[in-house]
Amino acid sequence: MSLQLDALRVSKQYTRDVWLDESADGDVAPVAAQRSISIFGLGYVGAVSLACLARDGHEVYGVDIDPTKLELVRQGRSPIIEEGMQELMRAVVNGGGVTVTDSMREAILATDVSFVCVGTPPKSNGNQDLTALLRFAEELGHVLPEKSTRHLIVIRSTVKPGTIDELLKPTIEKISGLKAGVDFSICFQPEFLREGTSISDYDNPPFTIVGADDDFAMEELRSIFGHLPCEMIRTSVRTAEMLKYACNAFHAVKVTFANEIGRLCQSANVDPHEVMKLVCMDRQLNISPAYLRPGFAFGGSCLPKDLKAMLYLAKTNDVELPMLANVMPSNRTHIDHAITQVLETGKRKVGIVGLSFKAGTDDLRESPLVAMVEYFIGKGLDVCIYDPSVNIARLVGANRRFIEESIPHIASLMTTDVNALVERSEVLVVAMKSPEVLEAVAKARADQSVLDLAQLPDRRAGDAEYRGVCW
């Protein structure tokens, strides 16, 4: 072991088969059991993984189809420019724990675990090019039968939900004649590192997510990554695959949001940095899980009104805000999606449970439920509505005017008896979940359908055919 590599492992001691980390009180916590690991694809993800896994005491095989990258690593040089990578790569290669090869077969046979970090670039139509992953799966299928131990394949390349279960796993099984979950394991562990800060991101991920169908994969990965200072969460393969897309889409939306606010601020002579700093200081509604649960469309007296006013300001100032301009159309698409699901049942007696824009208020302005009711009435459906917060006779001002213009005879459609509404309806749209609503909906019959907009407990509604609005 080189002195340089030891220096990079400052507070860590090496024992025969376990890295030990000395905590402040002198206790010794296991860092990672040593494994023999192959890494396919030595780009940003693979090169950083190779260097960090070797640093953590694992025996590492790096595989790439690019001879230049292999040669660089062989010489102890990093194939990517990243802070700290040149030093780390030199240290781990000098330390003797790294082998590079262009032979997939050699690497698979020599190791227990394979991390697959090959590129998944976009095709011209936006779809992923899975050629490299498929090539790996086919080669693995040929080599696996030669192994006497159970091999773990960890896909780290970003892939669409279903890629592992519907493409990679069947390909490996077909060629090898072996069974996933029995003879070998395959799982998905999304990578969250960012270029530029990749080593520190590798060591401090937000969490370690493992999409795995079997315990073996989880336990192996726990032995490799369990020492990281974050939660380790097991989920399904499909969820883990989708999660990576959701995270990256969210990051892209955040950047675009800040930039659109920036352009609007610039045109309105406002400091966008100060605005966004203050936006981020609100940890209750802004930087928080609030508004981030899939559910029904937004409405009410503020969000649509203020969004429209902001877009008007942008138009007046000649500022284009394509993302914010598409928020209202997207919200309308969500309402239309709910309407379509009700129409698809073919049932004509519709019971609406909850009418205001959110449960517990009588504010009907811009309520997406009102938009649904308007549509159903227009289609000649028989609509009955229950919302204990809404007393039409007591509505005043803009709220009253809004509903009178939208659904003039609304009072004749309302009932105060939720049980009677459930009893008479062929299809129920449930937008609230007070105790009395839950009790009534639990009595729904098998001949009825329920569209859930409110996330009913257990995602069911008595014996009725159940559908979630977007789940």
Q: Which residues bind ligand NAD (CB under 6 A)?
A: 40-46, 63-66, 69, 117-120, 132, 135-136, 156-158, 191, 193-195
Q: Which is nearer to ligand NAD, 43 or 76 (CB)?
A: 43
Structure token pair of residue 211: 């999409």
Q: How far is the CB of 121 from ligand NAD (least distance, A)?
A: 7
- Give the distance from CA 334 to its chain's centroid: 19
Q: Are strands 208-211 and 449-452 parallel, antiparallel or unpaired?
A: unpaired
Q: Which is nearer to ligand NAD, 156 or 433 (CB)?
A: 156
Instruction: Give 16-22's long-range contacts (Cβ < 8 A, gap of 24+).
Output: 19/56, 19/57, 19/227, 21/227
Q: Are strands 414-415 and 382-386 parallel, antiparallel or unpaired?
A: parallel
Q: Which is nearer to ligand NAD, 107 or 384 (CB)?
A: 107
Residue whose beta carbon is closest to ligand NAD: 43
3-class DSSP state of 87: helix
| Helix residue ranges per DSSP H, 345-396 | 368-378
Q: Per the residue annotation, which of 265, 280, 302, 384 is the catalytic one?
A: 302
CB-based contact 237:155 (threshold 8 Å): no
Q: How far is the CB of 117 from ligand NAD (least distance, A)?
A: 5
Q: One-letter amino acid identity for 29?
A: A
Structure token pair of residue 255: 């950047």
Closest CA to 241 of 130, 114, 330: 130
Q: In residues, how long is the chain?
A: 471
Q: Which is nearer to ligand NAD, 158 or 425 (CB)?
A: 158
**302 flagged as catalytic:** yes
Q: Which is nearer to ligand NAD, 157 or 331 (CB)?
A: 157
Neighbours of 362 (CB within 10 A): 18
Q: How far is the CB of 255 from ligand NAD (least distance, A)?
A: 15
Rounded distance between C-alpha atoms, residue 306 and residue 320, angstroms: 17
Rounded distance between C-alpha atoms, residue 361 and residue 343, angstroms: 27
Q: How far is the CB of 128 from ligand NAD (least distance, A)?
A: 8
Q: How far is the CB of 195 from ligand NAD (least distance, A)?
A: 5
Instruction: Give the residue numbers annotated as catalytic, written as ranges.
Output: 302
